[in-house]
Amino acid sequence: MLPFNMSVPLSVDFDSPEDYFIFIFQILFATSVVLLAGSVVIGILKTKSLRIQNRFIFMLNTSISDTLTGFSVYYLGLFDVVEGYPSRNGISLYETHRAPRGRARRNR
């Protein structure tokens, strides 16, 4: 049975002042990326002479990608989400590099 509260938790608990600074930084960083790259996208799309030149089409593609990356910073920076998935055989890359439980790794 699924719980009634299906919302995604925030990335910080707001237990200390550092949590507030991290959260505010993520908001400011994502907003600045979206506004800067988004303004370049709008500027290129509004100007016909820029759309004709190939170098500005490349810049348009890059700016669209940067804008979408800025939106992903909102999601990944503000919410506690999993960024990867386990492998099909059940062993993740992280687990292969950890020391075995109960013993420390020795230098050979």
Global pTM reads 0.65
Q: Quick check: 37 and 70 in contact, CB under 8 A? A: yes
What is the DSSP code (8-state) at residue 97? T
Q: What is the pLDDT of residues 4-61, one digit of tens each?
A: 566 778 888 889 999 999 999 999 999 999 999 999 999 999 999 998 888 898 999 9
User: 44 lies in a domain?
Assistant: yes
Domain that holds residue 74: 17-82
- For residues 12 and 77, give the distance between their C-alpha atoms in angstroms, rounded to a whole number: 9
Q: Which amino acid appears at position 32 of this protein?
A: S
For residue 76, tell me if it sits in a domain. Answer: yes
Tally of domains in the chain: 1
- pLDDT for 50-90, tens place per residue? 988 888 989 999 999 999 999 998 888 888 777 666 666 66
Determine, yes or no, domain membership for 101. no
